[in-house]
Structure 1
Amino acid sequence: MHSFKKTVLVCAVSALALTGCQKTLKAEEKKPAKLVNITSPVSVLSPVFQASLDQGRSLIKGERASRKDVIDLQVAPSNNGLIAASRGGVVSAFDGKQNLWTADLKEAITSGVAIDESGTVVVVGTRSGKVIALNAATGDKLWETSLPTSSPTPALIHRDRVLLSANNGVLYGLNLRTGATVWQFSTQRADVSVRGAARPLALDAQTALFGTADGRIHALDPNTGSPLWTRRVGMATGGSAVERMSDVDGAPLVVGQHLYVTSFSGQLAAYDMATGRAMFVSKIASVKSPAVLGDALIVAGLDGDVKAVNRLTGETLWVSDSLKHRKLTNPVTVGNHVAVGDLDGVIHLFDRAGNIVSRVQTKGQLTSLQAINNRLYTQSATGVVSVWQF
C-alpha cells in the first residue's frame, strides 16, 4: 500500500478498540423520542430465524442487577447458520433453526464471538480474562488461556493468530492452535474513554491495526507483535479530559478508493486514498460505523440524529431527528434501504429520502447490526438472536 494511503488510514481509524481505561463516560440519560406510526409501511425484511439464548447460571454476583450495562455480544455467521454467546457464559451453534451444540463455559462472557476464516475455530473471552477456543463443529474446548483482564470486543482471528485488545491497555497475539501468548504490546492507559470498543482490524497480511484509549493507532506485525508505526489521532481540544476526547469507536468504512470515519468529537471525515486528500469534514458526533446507500453516506449520531450526506462532497442530503435519544446502533445497508436498531429492540428502515418506511421488532436493546449476504443479524441485550432476509 502506498505510504500516504497508510497515513490516511491511520488518521481515520483512530481508537478502533478503546480499552485500558480507569473511568468510562456514560451519556446523560434523556427521554427517548416516541415512535410515530408509519402510514403505509413497506415490506423490507422477512424473518428467517429467532432464538432466545440459554443465559446459563454463571453471571457474577451483582451483574444480574446491572442490566443497564449493555454488552455488545456480536454473533458470528457460519455457513448456513451462526454461533452466538450469551452474557451468562453459554455458546450456542445453529444450522438454520436447528441447535447443533451448546457449551456452558460457566463464566460471564464479555467479548462476543470470533471465528476463523475456515470456520473451524470459535473464540470468546470471559469477564475474568479467560480466552477460550472451541471447535466450531462440536463445541468441544480446544484450549483456554488466562489474561490479566478481559477484552470488551470480539477478537480478530488473522491466519494463525488470535489478536486481542484488553482492558488494561495491553494488546495480545495468541497462537490459534494452542492459545499460548506469542507476543504482547503495552500502550498508555487513559483516565476517560468512550464506553465500548471495536475489534482489531487486519489491514493486510503483514499489518494489524489496534486503536487504544489514549487516542493512538498502533500498526503491529500480527505474527510477532513488532510495532510498524504509531500515530496520534483526533481533533478535539479542551480543558478537561472529557472535552479532549476524540475517540473513533466505529470501524471505518471503505468504498472503492474512499474512506469514511466518524468520531466522538463530532467529525465525519472522508478521504480519497488515491490522492491522499481529505474530501470533506461534516459535523456529527458518533461512535458507530457509517453506511453507504448509493451516493449517500449515513451516520447515526450520539444523540439519535440520523444524517445523510453526499459521500463525495459532504453536502447534507437529509437529517432525521425522529429517533432522538433512542441509543441507536450502527446503520447498515439492506437492499435499497438503511436499517438502524434502538434501545427497545426496534429496527427502523429508512428510504433514500430519509423517511422511515418500515419497522421490525425483536426483544431487548440492540447494540449493533450486521448485514452479510442479504441477511441481517442481531443479538439483543436480553440474548435474543434474530435473522432477517432482505
Structure 2
Amino acid sequence: MNVYFTAAFRTVFLSAILGLVVGCAGTPDRPKPAELPPSAGLLGVRLAWTVKSDAVEYPLALKVNGDAVLFASSNGALKSLSALTGETLWSANVGANLSAGIGSDGRMTAVVTVENELVVLNESRVLWRQALLAQGFTAPLVAGGRVFLLAADRSVVAFDAQSGRKLWTQQRTGDSLVLRQSGVLLAVGNTLIAGISGKLVGLNPSNGSVLWEASLSSPRGTNEIERLVDLIGRVSRVGEVVCARSFQSNVGCVDAGRGRVLWTMAASGSTGIDGDDLRIYGAEGNGEIMAWSRADGERVWISDRLKYRRLSSPLVLGRSIVVGDETGTVHWLSREDGTPLGRISTDGSQIAVAPILASGTLVIVTRNGGVFGFKPE
C-alpha cells in the first residue's frame, strides 16, 4: 500500500509494515491462492484488439468519450483509442511522468505530473500548464468549462478550462496521510462531489462553497496509519445515490441530492466498487467478493473463489461482474450469486486499472502497458 504524507510532501511505501493489506504482493506470510479450476465457459468472449503501450505504475483512470477510450502511461504518453478497433485516434506526450489522470469532457483532457503540474490539452495540443501546491493522485474532472482537481493536501481546486486561471480553492484539514491511489471526484447534477478523508463533500462548482457533508467513515485507532479512512474510486452512482468505499473501513451510500447518508456497512477492502439498481459489488482485502443490497447495505452473497488474489475494482457488465487479478487474468462472475461464468488471460502482468465498457467493448489495461479490447460473443 502506498500512502502520502501531506505535511512533509513526500511519498512513502508501507507495504511491508501493513500486514492487514493481504493483497500486497511480496508479503512473506501472504496465503497462497488456490489453483483455479477449468474455466466454466458459460460466457463467450473474444479478443477484438490489443495495443502495446508503456508501463502503468500510477493510479490511472480510463476515460470514455463516445467511441474513444483515453489512456495514459506513466511516462506521460497519452492516447485516444477507438473502442471498436483499437486504432489510435490521436496521441501526445506531456514530457513528464504522471501521478494522476486521465480526465476529459471529450474536448479537453487533463492529467497531473509527478512534478506537481496540472496539464490540459485540446486533443494532442497542450493548452496550458499550472503549478500545484501538492501532488494529485485522482484524475481531474473536466466539466462545465472548468477543470477540478482533488489534491493530496485535501484541497479541491477549480481552474478555467480554456485559460488555466485559478477560480477557487476549497482547503480542508485532516490527518497527515492520504492514500496514493485514486480518490473520489465527480459531478451529480449541479453539485461537485469530492471524497475528503472519510466524507463525501458536496461543493458548489461555481465558487467552491460547501453545500453538505456526509460521513461514510470516521478515523479510529492510535496512529496515523490506523486512522486512514480515505474514500476510494471507483464509485457506483444510480441517479442521485452515490455509493463508495472507505479504505479498509466501510462501504456506504449517500443521497447526493440531500447530502444524507443512507447506510454504511463494515468492509475491509482497498479497491473501488461498482453496482446496479439492486446491489453494489466489491472485493475485500483478502480477495473475497461481496454483494450488498443497495437499499440497506445488507450482505446478499459472498464468494471466496478468488481469495488471496490481488483483485481490481469490479465492473458490472450484463449479467456478470468483471474483475481482474495480479496474474493478468480477467474473471467473469454471476451478479446473482458470484459463481464463475468464465475467464480470459492477458499478458501475465497485473490488471492495473478498473475495467471499463466502451461501445460494447470491455477494455482492460495491465501494468506492463497492454491494452486489450474484448467483445462478448
- Displacement of 1:37 in angstroms is 2.2
Question: What SS does the corresponding residue of 2:99 show, helix, strand or coil?
Answer: coil
Q: Is the 8 A contact 1:21 1:169 kept in 2?
A: no
1:302-321 counterparts in 2 under 5 A? 302-312=285-295, 314-321=297-304
Q: Which structure has more strand as a fraction of its residues? A: 2
Change (3 A) 1:264 1:362: same
Question: Out of 126, 131, 146, which is 2:118 matched to?
Answer: 131
Task: Please say if 1:242 is aligned against 2:225.
Answer: yes
Change (3 A) 1:319 1:168: same
Aligned partners of 1:298 and 1:233: how far apart in 2?
Answer: 17
Q: Letter of the aligned partner of 2:139 in structure 1?
A: P
Task: Please say if 1:193 is aligned against 2:178.
Answer: yes
Alignment match, 2:340: 356
Aligned partners of 2:254 and 2:196: how far apart in 1?
Answer: 22
1:200-239 counterparts in 2 under 5 A? 200-205=185-190, 207-213=191-197, 215-230=198-213, 233-235=216-218, 237-239=220-222
Q: Pick 1 or 2: higher relative contact order, CA cutoff 8 A, min separation 6.
A: 1
Alignment match, 1:73: 60
Task: Please say if 1:48 is aligned against 2:35.
Answer: no
Q: Is the 8 A contact 2:99 2:136 kept in 1?
A: yes
Alignment match, 1:33: 33
Aligned partners of 1:260 and 1:191: how far apart in 2?
Answer: 25
Root mean square deviation of aligned Cα: 3.1
Alignment match, 2:23: none
* Alignment gaps of 5+ in structure 1: 1-17, 56-66
Change (3 A) 1:289 1:372: farther
Q: Is the 8 A contact 2:236 2:280 kept in 1?
A: no
Question: Out of 362, 373, 377, which is 2:363 matched to?
Answer: 377
* Alignment gaps of 5+ in structure 2: 20-26
Question: TM-score, with normalisation over the residues of structure 1?
Answer: 0.79
Alignment match, 1:322: 305
Q: Letter of the aligned partner of 2:342 in structure 1?
A: S
- Which is worse superposed, 336-345 or 267-276? 267-276
Aligned partners of 1:170 and 1:277: how far apart in 2?
Answer: 22
- Report the number of matched residues: 355
1:1-390 counterparts in 2 under 5 A? 20=6, 26=15, 27-28=18-19, 29=27, 30-38=30-38, 40-54=40-54, 70-95=57-82, 96-116=85-105, 119-136=106-123, 139-205=124-190, 207-213=191-197, 215-230=198-213, 233-235=216-218, 237-255=220-238, 259-270=242-253, 281-292=264-275, 295-312=278-295, 314-351=297-334, 352-363=336-347, 364-366=349-351, 367-390=353-376
Alignment match, 2:22: none
- Displacement of 1:163 in angstroms is 0.2
- Displacement of 1:236 in angstroms is 5.1
* Identical counterparts, % of pairs: 22
Q: Is the 8 A contact 1:31 1:325 kept in 2?
A: yes
